[in-house]
C-alpha cells in the first residue's frame, strides 16, 4: 500500500456515500439510514462538545446482522466508519468522520440475559449501564463498573473505552468484567470471543478489544460478570481544612490495608460548584471533602469503618458525617457525581481533564496545578478518585474573554505534562479519542506506539475503523520488514553452511 | 519446519560478540523434548534485545525460559535454536509501597517477589497452582506468558487483571512498552493483556509492573471433606451465591467422585470470627484451619499423567464433573470452583487420552468451556490436538504475523501451530 492509496482511503467521495446510503436503506430499512443534513447534525459530537464533525451518513442498525452489513459495505467501498453508543464519551472517541459512516447502537438496547447462577449477563451494545444493574439487583447482583454517566452511557461504549467509575478502586474497570463478546471486525466479519466461562483458548483478544476505542471493531453483544451485592455498605463524608489533610488521610487509609470501594475527593471550588448546582450540603468552609465508601461482609466493614473514621480525625477532619441510610448516601454521592456538570454554575465554559498520578504524589501535583493555574490567571476545580490517583481537574474559563480559551487549554495541557512527569497517565478513564491522540507521544515512545499499531494492522489493515483516534499518526500496514517468505523455508544458518539438516 | 541442528558455537560466538553471555545448550536445556542449540543468559531488557537482535539476524528460533517449571506445558516448539535464560534477570526495579505498585524484571521468582513485599505488609495476589513435583513457583515472566493462576484468582482476578505495565522485546529486537505504573490507565492498547497467555509467541517479556494488595491480616480455611457429588455442588453453590466474599473457593475430587471443598476467608482478626461462623453454616460438617489443606494450590497428578485445563460456566460445573467421571479413565480434579477453572489429571496411555479428550470436547458445550491439554507425556501430546478448537483463530494468526512475521518466537507452541 502506498501513502497515496491510504490518503484516498481516508474518506469517501459523495458518490460513494450515495451508493452506500442506497445499499444500506435496501438492507436495513429506510428508517435506519440518515443522510438529511439537519438530522445528521444531531450526531456531530459526543460528550466532548467542542469537537464537532457532521458525519456523511448515520446508520441505526437493530441487530448484529445490521452492524455487520454496514461495516461490510464500508469495507468494500473503502469508507471509514465510527461506532457510537449513547454519545457520552469525554474524549471525542465517537467523534464522527466527515466522509464516513456513524454506526449508532442506540436501537440495540436489550439486556439479553441475566444469569445469576453463572454470575453473568449478556447485553446488546446499546444497553444502558445502570439498567443492567437494575435488572440484576432483584437477583442479588449488580454490574460493578459505574462511570458517573451510568444513567445514560451504554455498555458498548464502556467496552470501547474501558470505562471505570468511582468504585473501580476495589472492583476494577470494564476490562476486568467482560468475559465474552461478539464483535464485527473491520472487514465486516462476525467473530465470537469467549463467553460465560473464563480463559477462552488463544490470545486474549478481549484484552485488546476492550479499551481500543472502536479502532479494532464493533461489539454487537457483550457478556459481563455480575458482582454479588455486598452484605453491608457504609459511607462517610469528611470535611478537611485543605486537600493536603484529605490526601494524607487517604494515604493512611490505604496504608493500613483497607481497600475501600471508593475514596473520592473534591476541593473547595468543586464543592462550591456542587453546592450551587445540587445543594448537597457539604460541610461549610471545607477546603476539601472526602467521600469514603466501604462494602463487604458486615463484620469487616464495621471494623474498618472505625479505622477510616479515626484516620480522618487524625488528619484534622473537622466534620464527619456517616450516611444513616441509602437516601443520605445518595445525597453524599449526588454532589460528587454531578460535579462535572455543576461547574457550569460557576463558570460559563470549562475543560474536564482526566489524568493519573501515583497517589503518593497527590499533594505535590495539586500544588503544581495551583501554581500553573495562577500563572495563567485561570481557576481550576479539582475532583478526583483519590484512592487511585485519578485526577479530574476542571479548568474554568469564559470563552467571551479573549484568549481565555487558549490559556485554559495551556493549563489543561500542563496538567497532563505533570501527570507524565510523575510517572502517571494521560487518561485514567475518559480515553484518548480525538482529544488526546496528540499527547500519546509524550507518554509512549515511537517504538511503543508502533507496536500498538501492529495490533491495529492485524485487525484493521485498511485503517477504516474509527481512523484518527488514539494514535497521532497512522501506521502503514503490510510493510513490515522481514515478512515471512518462501525463502524462510530454508534455515539461513543452513543456507550459510552453519547448520545442516538431518 | 525441517528439524535442524544448528552449529551452537557459531551462535554463541555471535551472541558473545553482541555482549550477551551464552553457551552451547545441553540435555537439560531441552524444551519439552526438543533439543536446543544454544543458551543466552540475559540480565536486563537491553541484553535481551541484543540477544533477540542476534537471533533475528541469523533467523534463529527463540524460546524464553525462567525456572522452566512450565517448559513442558502447551505444544512442544517446532525448533529451538536459542533458549533465553531469564533467571538472572531477577531484580525488583521499584516497589512503590505507598502506591501499592511493584516493578520487577521478568526473571524474578514469585516467591522472591512475595518475600520482597512481606515487610511492607503487601503481596502480589498471584498464586499459580504448582505441580506436585515443583520445588518452588516459577518466574513472573513465565507466569505471565502462560497466564497461570491459582486459588486467589477468585478474589483478585487473573494475572491479566493485576498486570498494569509491561516491557517486552519484539521478534526484531525492538523494545516496546505498554501500560504504565499507575493502576488506572486507559492510554493506548493494553498490550500487557495480549502478552499475558501468549506463551512466548509474540515477544520476550523482560519487565512487568503489577498492582499490589495489602497482605491479609487474618486467614482461615474452612474445609468439608468426603462429599458426594451432590453435596459438593450444593456447598459450592451456597458459597458462590452467599455474601461471605471468599478469597478463594477450591475443590479436590478423587477418581471415585468423592470431593473436598475448601473456602478461604481473609480479613482482619477481629472481624473474621463472625465470617467464619457464616461460612461454616454453608458447608456440611465444615472444620476451620489456620493452614490450607495439603492439596491447596497444587496441580493434580504426576509426570506420568495427562494434565487437562477445563473451563466452565460456574453453575455448569456438575455437568463438567459428570463428564469427567464418565470419560473412560480415572481422573483427579482440582480447581477454582467460584471461577470456573479446573485442572484434571487423567491416567492412561495415548490412545485412552485421545478418546478422553475427544469425548470431553464433544460434550463441552454442556458446560460452555474449553478443554486444553496443558501437560502430558510426549507420546500423548504427539497424538492429541493440545489446544483444541479456538474461536477467533484467524485474528490470532494475523496478530502473530504482525508481531513475529518470521515465526521465530516459540514456533508451534501455541494455538493453531502459532
* A218-227 pLDDT tens trace: 999 999 999 9
Q: Which of A83, A104, A125 is the last residue of a domain?
A: A104
Domain with residue A270: its CATH number is 3.30.70.2190
Find out whether B226 and B131 touch, Cβ atoms under 8 Å.
no
C-alpha grid cell, residue B175: 523494545
Distance (Å, whole) CA A410 – CA A380? 12
Q: What average pLDDT does chain A have?
A: 91
Coil, helix or strand at residue A122: strand
Pick the CATH number of B218-289 from 3.30.70.260, 3.30.300.130, 3.30.1110.20, 1.10.260.40: 3.30.70.260
Domain with residue A424: its CATH number is 3.30.70.2740
Task: Say what percent of chain B tops pLDDT 70.
Answer: 99
pLDDT of residue A488: 44
pLDDT of residue B6: 64
Q: Which of A196, A228, A260 is the last residue of a domain?
A: A228
C-alpha grid cell, residue B65: 525460559
Task: Say yes or no: do domains B218-289 and B306-383 share a fold.
Answer: yes
Tell whether A45 and A131 lie within a shared domain. Answer: no
The residues with which B166 forms a beta bridge, in sequence order, are: B178, B208
Q: How many CA atoms lie within 13 A of B32 on its CB side?
A: 28
Domain with residue A19: its CATH number is 3.30.43.10
In a domain, A138, yes or no: yes
The low-confidence residues of chain B, meaning pLDDT below 50, are 1-3
In a domain, A218, yes or no: yes
Name the nearest CA neighbour of A9 among A56, A73, A78, A96.
Answer: A78
The residues with which A292 forms a beta bridge, in sequence order, are: A236, A263
* Residue A299 at interface with chain B, using a CB cutoff of 8 Å: yes
Residue A485 has pLDDT above 50, yes or no: no
Q: Topology of B306-383 in CATH?
A: Alpha-Beta Plaits (3.30.70)
Going by C-beta distance under 8 Å and a sequence separation of 6 or more, which residues neighbour residue B8?
Answer: B24, B25, B37, B38
User: For cell 481497600, what's the residue?
Assistant: A259
Burial class (CB in 10 A: 0-12, 13-18, 19+), B20: buried
pLDDT of residue A377: 95
DSSP-derived secondary structure for B391-411: TTHHHHHHHHHHH-TT--BST
Domain ranges of chain B: 1-215+390-418, 218-289, 306-383
| Nearest-CA distance B147 → chain A (Å) | 9
Q: Taking residues A112-125, report their average pLDDT.
A: 98
Q: Show the domain range for A236.
A: 231-339
Distance (Å, whole) CA B19 – CA B51? 9
Going by C-beta distance under 8 Å and a sequence separation of 6 or more, which residues neighbour residue A353?
Answer: A391, A392, A393, A394, A395, A412, A415, A416
Q: Which is it for strands B36-41 and B80-85: parallel, antiparallel or unpaired?
A: parallel
Partner-chain contact B184 A356, CB within 8 Å: yes
Tell whether A62 and A157 lie within a shared domain. Answer: no
Q: Taking residues A43-66, report their average pLDDT.
A: 94
In a domain, A111, yes or no: no
pLDDT of residue A476: 85
C-alpha grid cell, residue A284: 461549610
Q: Which of A104, A135, A158 is the last residue of a domain?
A: A104
Tell whether A241 and A334 lie within a shared domain. Answer: yes
Find out whether A476 and A1 touch, Cβ atoms under 8 Å.
yes
* Residue A138 at interface with chain B, using a CB cutoff of 8 Å: no
Distance (Å, whole) CA A52 – CA A435? 12
pLDDT tens sequence across B6-46: 689 999 999 999 999 999 999 999 999 999 999 999 999 99
Residues of chain B with C-beta less than 8 angstroms from the C-beta of A196: 313-314, 368
Interface test with B, best of A197, A296, A436, A440 (most B CBs within 10 A): A197
In a domain, A153, yes or no: yes
Distance (Å, whole) CA B61 – CA A404? 58
Residue A487 has pLDDT above 50, yes or no: no
Q: Which is it for strands B36-41 and B62-65: parallel, antiparallel or unpaired?
A: unpaired
Find out whether B184 and A426 touch, Cβ atoms under 8 Å.
no
Domain with residue A159: its CATH number is 3.30.465.10
Nearest chain A residue to B193 by CA distance is A207
C-alpha grid cell, residue B222: 474452612
The residues with which A393 forms a beta bridge, in sequence order, are: A382
pLDDT of residue A10: 56
Radius of gyration over every alpha carbon of chain A, rounded to an integer in angstroms: 24
Partner-chain contact B186 A173, CB within 8 Å: yes
Q: Which of the four pLDDT bands, split at 50, 70 and 90, describes residue A479? A: low
Q: Specify the CATH architecture of the domain B1-215+390-418.
A: 2-Layer Sandwich (3.30)
Partner-chain contact A198 B158, CB within 8 Å: yes
| Nearest-CA distance A159 → chain B (Å) | 12
Residues of chain A with C-beta less than 8 angstroms from the C-beta of B368: 195-197
Q: Taking residues A244-259, report their average pLDDT.
A: 92
Tell whether A241 and A222 lie within a shared domain. Answer: no
Tell whether A237 and A223 lie within a shared domain. Answer: no
Number of domains present in the structure of chain A: 4
> CA angle, A233 as apex, A231 and A238 as ends, to 5°?
165
Going by C-beta distance under 8 Å and a sequence separation of 6 or more, which residues neighbour residue A179?
Answer: A120, A194, A195, A196, A197, A198, A206, A223, A224, A225
The residues with which B218 forms a beta bridge, in sequence order, are: B267
Q: Which is it for strands A57-59 and A101-104: parallel, antiparallel or unpaired?
A: parallel
Q: Taking residues A446-473, report their average pLDDT.
A: 96
pLDDT of residue B257: 87
C-alpha grid cell, residue B174: 525492538
Name the nearest CA neighbour of A211 among A147, A157, A165, A160.
Answer: A160
Query: What ipTM was assigned to the predicted interfaces of this complex?
Result: 0.97
User: For cell 478489544, what's the residue?
Assistant: A209
- Number of Cβ within a 10 Å radius of residue A479: 10
Tell whether A188 and A255 lie within a shared domain. Answer: no
pLDDT of residue A498: 43
Find out whether A267 and A247 touch, Cβ atoms under 8 Å.
no
Partner-chain contact B414 A202, CB within 8 Å: yes
| Nearest-CA distance A192 → chain B (Å) | 7
Coil, helix or strand at residue B24: strand
Tell whether A269 and A210 lie within a shared domain. Answer: no
Question: Lowest-confidence range among A179-188, A291-300, B114-123, B127-136?
Answer: B127-136
Which residues numbered 232-271 in A keep a CB inside 8 Å of some CB on B? 251, 254-259
Q: Taking residues A148-160, report their average pLDDT.
A: 95
Task: Say what percent of chain A tops pLDDT 70.
Answer: 93
Residues of chain A with C-beta less than 8 angstroms from the C-beta of B245: 228, 230, 296-297
Residue A153 has pLDDT above 60, yes or no: yes
pLDDT tens sequence across A304-356: 999 999 999 999 999 999 999 999 999 999 888 888 888 888 999 999 999 99
Residues of chain A with C-beta less than 8 angstroms from the C-beta of B213: 259
Name the nearest CA neighbour of A99 among A12, A7, A214, A4.
Answer: A12
Interface test with A, best of B81, B184, B205 (most A CBs within 10 A): B184
Amino acid at each position: 500500500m502506498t501513502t497515496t492509496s491510504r490518503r484516498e482511503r481516508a474518506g469517501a467521495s459523495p458518490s460513494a456515500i450515495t451508493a452506500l446510503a442506497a445499499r444500506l436503506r435496501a438492507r436495513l430499512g429506510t428508517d435506519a439510514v440518515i443522510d438529511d443534513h439537519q438530522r445528521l447534525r444531531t450526531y456531530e459530537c459526543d460528550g466532548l462538545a467542542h469537537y464537532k464533525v457532521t458525519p456523511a451518513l448515520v446508520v441505526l442498525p437493530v441487530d448484529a446482522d445490521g452492524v455487520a452489513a454496514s461495516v461490510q459495505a464500508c469495507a468494500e467501498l473503502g469508507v471509514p466508519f465510527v461506532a457510537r453508543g449513547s454519545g457520552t464519551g469525554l474524549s471525542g472517541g465517537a467523534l464522527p468522520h466527515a466522509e464516513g459512516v456513524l454506526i449508532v447502537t442506540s436501537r440495540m438496547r436489550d439486556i439479553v440475559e441475566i444469569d445469576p447462577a453463572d454470575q453473568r449477563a449478556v447485553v446488546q451494545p446499546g444497553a444502558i449501564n445502570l439498567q443492567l444493574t437494575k435488572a440484576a439487583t432483584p437477583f442479588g447482583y449488580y454490574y460493578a463498573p459505574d462511570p458517573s454517566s451510568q444513567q445514560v452511557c451504554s455498555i458498548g461504549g464502556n467496552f470501547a473505552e474501558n470505562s471505570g467509575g468511582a468504585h473501580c478502586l476495589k472492583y476494577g474497570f470494564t476490562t476486568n468484567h467482560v468475559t465474552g463478546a461478539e464483535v464485527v471486525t473491520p472487514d465486516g466479519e462476525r467473530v465470537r470471543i469467549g463467553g460465560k466461562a473464563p480463559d477462552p483458548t488463544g490470545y486474549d483478544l478481549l484484552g485488546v478489544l476492550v479499551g481500543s476505542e472502536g479502532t479494532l471493531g464493533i461489539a454487537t453483544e457483550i457478556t459481563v460478570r455480575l458482582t454479588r451485592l455486598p452484605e453491608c455498605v457504609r459511607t462517610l463524608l469528611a470535611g478537611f481544612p485543605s486537600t493536603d489533610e484529605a490526601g494524607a488521610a487517604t494515604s493512611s487509609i490505604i496504608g493500613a490495608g483497607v481497600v475501600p470501594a471508593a475514596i473520592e475527593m473534591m476541593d473547595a471550588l468543586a464543592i462550591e460548584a456542587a453546592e450551587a448546582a445540587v445543594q448537597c450540603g457539604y460541610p461549610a468552609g471545607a477546603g476539601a471533602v472526602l467521600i469514603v465508601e466501604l462494602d463487604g461482609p458486615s463484620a469487616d466493614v464495621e471494623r474498618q469503618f472505625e479505622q477510616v473514621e479515626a484516620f480522618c480525625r487524625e488528619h484534622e477532619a473537622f466534620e464527619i458525617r456517616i450516611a444513616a441510610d441509602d437516601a443520605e448516601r445518595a445525597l453524599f454521592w449526588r454532589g460528587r457525581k454531578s460535579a462535572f456538570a455543576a461547574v457550569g454554575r460557576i463558570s460559563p465554559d470549562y475543560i474536564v481533564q482526566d489524568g493519573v498520578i501515583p497517589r503518593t504524589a497527590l499533594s505535590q501535583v495539586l500544588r503544581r496545578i495551583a501554581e500553573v493555574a495562577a500563572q495563567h490567571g485561570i481557576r481550576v476545580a479539582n475532583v478526583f478518585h483519590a484512592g487511585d490517583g485519578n485526577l479530574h481537574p476542571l479548568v474554568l474559563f469564559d470563552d467571551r474573554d479573549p484568549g481565555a480559551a487558549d490559556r485554559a487549554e495551556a493549563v489543561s495541557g500542563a496538567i497532563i505534562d505533570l501527570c507524565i512527569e510523575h510517572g502517571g497517565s494521560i487518561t485514567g478513564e475518559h480515553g484518548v479519542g480525538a482529544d488526546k491522540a496528540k499527547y500519546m507521544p509524550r507518554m509512549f515512545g515511537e517504538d511503543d506506539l508502533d507496536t500498538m499499531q501492529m495490533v491495529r494492522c492485524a485487525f484493521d489493515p485498511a485503517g477504516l475503523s474509527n481512523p484518527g483516534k488514539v494514535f497521532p499518526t497512522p501506521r502503514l500496514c503490510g510493510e513490515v520488514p522481514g515478512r515471512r517468505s518462501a525463502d524462510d523455508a530454508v534455515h539461513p544458518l543452513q543456507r550459510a553452511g552453519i547448520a545442516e539438516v538431518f | 519446519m525441517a528439524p535442524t541442528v544448528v552449529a551452537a558455537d557459531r551462535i554463541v560466538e555471535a551472541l558473545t560478540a553482541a555482549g550477551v553471555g551464552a553457551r552451547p545448550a545441553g540435555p537439560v536445556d531441552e524444551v519439552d523434548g526438543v533439543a536446543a542449540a544454544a543458551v543466552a543468559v540475559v540480565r536486563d531488557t537491553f541484553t535481551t534485545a541484543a540477544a533477540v537482535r542476534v537471533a533475528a539476524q541469523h533467523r534463529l528460533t527463540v524460546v524464553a525460559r525462567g525456572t522452566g517449571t512450565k517448559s513442558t506445558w502447551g505444544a512442544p516448539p517446532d525448533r529451538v535454536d536459542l533458549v533465553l535464560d531469564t533467571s538472572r534477570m531477577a531484580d525488583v526495579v521499584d516497589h512503590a509501597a505507598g502506591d501499592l505498585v511493584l516493578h520487577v524484571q521478568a526473571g524474578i521468582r514469585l516467591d522472591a517477589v512475595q518475600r520482597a513485599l512481606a515487610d511492607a505488609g503487601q503481596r502480589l495476589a498471584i498464586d499459580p497452582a504448582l505441580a506436585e513435583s515443583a520445588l518452588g513457583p516459577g518466574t513472573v515472566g513465565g507466569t505471565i506468558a502462560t497466564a497461570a493462576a491459582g486459588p486467589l484468582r477468585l478474589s483478585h482476578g487473573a494475572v491479566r487483571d493485576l498486570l498494569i505495565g509491561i516491557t517486552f522485546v519484539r521478534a526484531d529486537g525492538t523494545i516496546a512498552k505498554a501500560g504504565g505504573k499507575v493502576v488506572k490507565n486507559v492510554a493506548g492498547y493494553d498490550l500487557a493483556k495480549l502478552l499475558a497467555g501468549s506463551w512466548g509467541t509474540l515477544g520476550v517479556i523482560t519487565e512487568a509492573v503489577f498492582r499490589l494488595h495489602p497482605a491479609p491480616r487474618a486467614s482461615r480455611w474452612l474445609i468439608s471433606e468426603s462429599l458426594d457429588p451432590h453435596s459438593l455442588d450444593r456447598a459450592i453453590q451456597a458459597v458462590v451465591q452467599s455474601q461471605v466474599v471468599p478469597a478463594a473457593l477450591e475443590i479436590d475430587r478423587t477418581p471415585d467422585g468423592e470431593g473436598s471443598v475448601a473456602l478461604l476467608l481473609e480479613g482482619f482478626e477481629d472481624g473474621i470470627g463472625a465470617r467464619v461462623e457464616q461460612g461454616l453454616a454453608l458447608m456440611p460438617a465444615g472444620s476451620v484451619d489456620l493452614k490450607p489443606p495439603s492439596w491447596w494450590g497444587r496441580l493434580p497428578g504426576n509426570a506420568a499423567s495427562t494434565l487437562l485445563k477445563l473451563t466452565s460456566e460456574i453453575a455448569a460445573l456438575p455437568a463438567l464433573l459428570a463428564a469427567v467421571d464418565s470419560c473412560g479413565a480415572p481422573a483427579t480434579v482440582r480447581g477454582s470452583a467460584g471461577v470456573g477453572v479446573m485442572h484434571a489429571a487423567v491416567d492412561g496411555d495415548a490412545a485412552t487420552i485421545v478418546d478422553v479428550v475427544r469425548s470431553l470436547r464433544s460434550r463441552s458445550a454442556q458446560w460452555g468451556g474449553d478443554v486444553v491439554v496443558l501437560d502430558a507425556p510426549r507420546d500423548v501430546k504427539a497424538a492429541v490436538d493440545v489446544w483444541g478448537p479456538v474461536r477467533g483463530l484467524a485474528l490470532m494468526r494475523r496478530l502473530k504475523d504482525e508481531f513475529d512475521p518470521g515465526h521465530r518466537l516459540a514456533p508451534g507452541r501455541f494455538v493453531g501451530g502459532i
